[in-house]
Amino acid sequence: MTAAAGDASADLISLLPDCLLTTVLSLLPLHDAARTTALSRRWRHLWPSTPLRLLDSPAAPLSAAAISQILASHCGGAVQFHLILARPCPADLGSWLPSLAAKRLQELVLRPPSDEPLRLPPSILECRSLRSAELTNCRLPEDAAAAGAVSFRRLTELTLRLVHAPSAAALHGLLAGCPGLASLSLDRVFGCRSLRMRSGTLRSLTVSVSLTRRRLPEEAGELEHLVVEDAPALERLLAHDINWGPSIHVVQAPKLQMLGYLGVGIPELQLGLTLFRSMSAVRLATQFRSVSTLALEMADLQVKPVADFLRCFPCLETLYVTTVVLKGYRGQEHEVQLAMFFICSAIGLKIMKFLCDNDCNPSWLKIQKKRLHLENRASLEAQFVFQKFSKSYI
C-alpha cells in the first residue's frame, strides 16, 4: 500500500528494503510472521525468503509433514532449528538436514523424547555453517570416526547430553572437526572412556557423568578419564557432578581461572605435577596461580584438604565451599575447626553461612559464636549468618 509523502497514514514500514523486512519477520513468532502475507502484495513474497527460525515447542507443536512442507517451500536461509517434542523417523531427519545445510543453518537443537537414542544420519555432517549445536539423547553417526569427515569450522558452542558415540574415534573425530570451539559441555557421554583435549580456542569446558554407577555394556562405557593436554585459552573447567565423575588431568591450561565443583566423586585430579585422590593431596608440586575461583564440596569437613588446595591455588580471590552434612551444621569440633580456619585467615571474606540442624535458638547461637571467636575474624567486613537447614536450600 502507498501513500503521499507527509500523509499520517503512510505505510513507512513497507518502504524499507527487503533485507530489513525479512529480518523483522524472522524475529516474530512463526504464525504471526506467516500472517503478514495478508497485509498487502508488498509483503507476500517476503515470508518465503525470511531467515527461518523453526522452533518446535508445546505452544506450537509441529508434525513431520509440516516441517517437510516448511523446508520445501522456504526460499531463505535458516537461523534456528529446534526439535524438542517430535521424534522424527530416520528418513525424515535424513532429508531435513541436507535442506538445512543448504540454507546455511546456524543453530541446531535436537532433544528427541524417548529413552532410545535417536540415530543421527550422516547428513548431519553436511551442516558446516553451524555456530551452535545441542545434541541430546542422540547417537553419533559412524562416519564421524573417518579422518576429515567432520568440518564444523564455524561452531563455537557444542553441548552433548546423553549422547552415544559408536566409538571413541567417533567422539574424537567430532571434536577434532570443531577447531573454533569456545564452549564445550559433555553431559553423560557414552562410548568413550578416555578423552584427550587439545584446543587453542576453548574457553569453557564442562563435564559430568551419570548420578549412579549403573552397569553399562563395555561399548557404552562412560567417560572415566579426561586429559586437558593443551588448552592455552581455557578459563573455566567445571565438573558439575561431584558424586561420581571422571578423573581429570590438566597438563597445560595457563589461563585457567575457575575450577569446580571438586568432590570425592572425582577419583583423581592432577594439575601439572600436583595430584589429589578423592580430595586428599598425594603430591603438591605445581601451583596454579591463574586460578582465582575455586569450588569445593566436602562430605566430611576437614581443615587439611582445604589447606592443601589453598597451597595449590595461592592467588584465589573467591572460594566456594559447599558443606554437606547430613542435617546441616551441628557445632561438632571438626566443623568448628574448619570454620575458624576461614574466619581467622580469609582477609577478603564477605559472608559465611551456617545451615544449622536445629532451630538456632538464642542460647545455642551465643555458644557457637563464642566457640568460633568471631571477634578475631581476619576480615572486619565479614558477616556470619546462622539459619535453619532446609532440604530445599541450594
Question: How confident is the model at residue 27, as a pLDDT?
Answer: 74
CA–CA dist 141, 228 (Å, integer): 25
Q: What is the pLDDT of residue 3?
A: 43
Q: Which residue has the cell 499520517?
A: 8
Beta pairing class for 258-262 and 274-277: unpaired
How many Cα atoms occupy the beta-carbon half-sphere of 279 within 13 Å?
Answer: 24
Chain position carrying cell 532446609 = 390
Backbone angles phi, psi at 385, to 5 degrees: -115, 125
Angstrom distance (rounded) from CA 304 to CA 113? 46
Mean pLDDT, residues 168-191? 94
Q: CA–CA distance from 26 to each of 85, 101, 227 (Å)?
A: 22, 18, 42
Average pLDDT over every residue of 129-135: 98
Query: CA-to-CA distance for 355 and 334, rounded, in angstroms?
Result: 15
**Which three cell numbers mark 61?**
507443536
DSSP one-letter string for 350-366: -EEEEEESS---HHHHH
pLDDT at position 314 over 50: yes
Query: What is the reported pLDDT for 242?
Result: 58
Confidence class of residue 346 from pLDDT cuts 50, 70 and 90? confident
Of residues 219 and 13, more confidence is placed in 13
Least confident of 30-34, 154-158, 301-305, 312-316: 30-34
**Distance (Å, whole) CA 56 – CA 117:** 19
Q: Contact, 197 vs 175, CB < 8 A? A: yes
pLDDT tens for 184-210 read 999 999 999 999 999 999 999 999 887
Pick 182 or 318 by higher pLDDT. Answer: 182
pLDDT tens across 59-111, in order?
A: 767 888 989 988 988 888 899 999 988 888 889 999 999 999 999 999 999 99
**Residues facing residue 206 across a β-bridge:** 185, 238
Q: What is the pLDDT of residue 151?
A: 95
Residue-wise DSSP of 151-212: --TT--EEEEEEEE-SSHHHHHHHHHT-TT-SEEEEEEEES-SEEEEE-SS--EEEEE--SS
pLDDT in the model for residue 211: 59
Cell output for 183: 564452549
- Report the predicted TM-score, pTM, of the whole model to 2 decimal places: 0.77
Task: Indicate the DSSP class of residue 121.
Answer: P
Average pLDDT (151-164) is: 96
Dist CA 241 CA 206 (whole Å):
10
Question: Using CA atoms, how far apart are residues 169 and 146, in angstroms rounded to an integer?
Answer: 8
